[in-house]
Amino acid sequence: MNGHDNHDNTQYNGYNEEEFEPSDPSSSGEFSDSDSDSDSVSGTAGTGSDSGVVDVDDESIPSYFIERGGRLYHADTTSPYPLPCDGREIQRLNAQHSLLKNVFGRNYIRQDLVQEVLTDDGSMKVVVDFAHGTGRWAVEMGQQFPHVQFYGLEIVPITNREHLDNVQFELNSEISRGTRFDEGSVTIVHARTVYMTVRNYYQSIILEAGRILQTGGLYLAGEWGYPAFIGQEPHPNLAQMGLGQFFNSLSQCLAPRGITRLGRDLENLIRNSNLFNPIHVHNVWVPIGPWDPQRQEFGARMRRILRRFMSSTKPLLLESSGWTEAQINDLFAVCNTEMTSTPRLVMVFHAICAVRWRGE
């Protein structure tokens, strides 16, 4: 496939928006959550439209969840997703959504391409959000583009039951096995931080996006990489840091489930599918902790998100890492110190806008 790839490796030029931010937990290894949000969840699988999708009523919602160790998890035995689906995890997902929106200045990269394909020209516009999480991206996009029909796919009903008429949430146990949408019927597919939702073959998500996208449609994808350092050396050896040990251990725990962290490999997977051209890449780094005086708020938010993420992975580490709870708590305490005091420490988000291409 011939064509050009546009790379934009940059910091960020975000803006601030009012949002709920949880209070900063203590610095102990056991990351506590002092927020008042309960662990109850609610959602809907759709609107009972002609698609055959039916509503999930209040009485059936508990059947989609199981409780382990005081956290709620999905009860779908076919999905590899290993993290909780409770109130604390919902707060993390919402905080992550708000941070990324601030970082990029909007809910997507390549504003020109997105607004072009979603222009209200009288034709049917359909956007599908793979693994929509709390549904905030779809709802906010539905507000911005009221003439577009948005569908969010997820394994459990954790979205707010009150949403827009042009936004519908549906249950789909494993997107990589296929969706109900016809070939070439979708304008945009959005897939952000979905690598834990598929086992063994992430390319299947890319192939499904390529199948349902119309020619000229957009695949908006994004995944976090590993912690990294910016600027000139010398830097600490990340492999010898607590954060390096945490992410390495997490990868080892996910491997038996067939889950592989993507990060910078996402671009090559999309390129090698030969389904998209051109591919626009925007890699952005976000500080961890207070070291950047110009972006201390972003750094504090990134640290809180990582702390919540680590807390959500603790049951998985206890089950699969061979570490004791005390050892995990000690590791988390070391990580917290590093995130608070290590200069030039960042997380990198790899965002892609790829155009569906059908040619020779």
CATH of the domain at 69: 3.40.50.150
The CA distances from residue 76 to 80, 191, 260, 348, in Å, are 9, 20, 20, 31
User: Considering the domain boundaries, does residue 19 fall inside one?
Assistant: no
Give the pLDDT confidence of 327-347 residue by residue, as tens digits.
Answer: 999 999 999 999 999 999 999
Between CA 143 and CA 148 the distance in angstroms is 9
- Confidence check: pLDDT of 202 > 80: yes
Asked if pLDDT for residue 117 goes beyond 90, the answer is: yes
**Per the domain annotation, does 29 fall within a domain?**
yes
pLDDT digits (tens, 9 = 90+) for 155-166: 877 776 667 899
> Measured between alpha carbons, how far is 195 from 222 in angstroms, rounded to an integer?
10
137, 197 in Cβ contact below 8 A? no
% of the chain residues with pLDDT over 70 = 82
Assess whether pLDDT exceeds 70 at residue 319.
yes
Residues 6+ apart with CB under 8 A from 43: 56, 61, 135, 154, 156, 157, 158, 159, 160, 161, 169
Total count of residues recorded for the chain: 360
Q: 3-state DSSP call for residue 59?
A: coil
Residue 348 counted as domain residue: yes
Q: What mean pLDDT do residues 305-318 have?
A: 96
pLDDT at 137 over 80: yes
Confidence of residue 5 (pLDDT cuts 50, 70, 90): low
The answer to whether residue 294 sits within a structural domain is yes
pLDDT at 65: 83
Quote the pTM value: 0.84
pLDDT for the residue 74: 86
Any idea of the CA torsion for 179, 181, 183, 185, to the nearest 10 degrees?
-140
Query: Average pLDDT over the chain, rounded to whole?
Result: 84
Contacts of 28 by beta carbon, 8 Å cutoff, 6+ apart: 329, 333
Give the per-residue pLDDT at 49: 38
Query: What is the per-residue pLDDT for 13?
Result: 32
Where in the sequence is the domain holding 64, given as residue range(s)? Answer: 5-14+25-356
pLDDT recorded at residue 161 = 62
Please give the Cα distance from 186 to 127 (Å, whole number).
Answer: 6
**Phi, psi angles (nearest 5°) of residue 196:** -80, -5
- Give the least confident one: 19-33, 231-245, 249-263, 321-335: 19-33
Q: What is the mean pLDDT of residues 267-275?
A: 95
| pLDDT at position 80 | 84
Domains: count for the chain:
1
Alpha carbon distance 265, 255 (integer Å): 16
pLDDT tens, position by position, 17-39: 223 233 333 333 444 433 333 33
- Distance (Å, whole) CA 3 – CA 6: 10
pLDDT at site 130: 95
Q: Which segments of 36-125 are extended strands (E)?
A: 65-68, 71-74
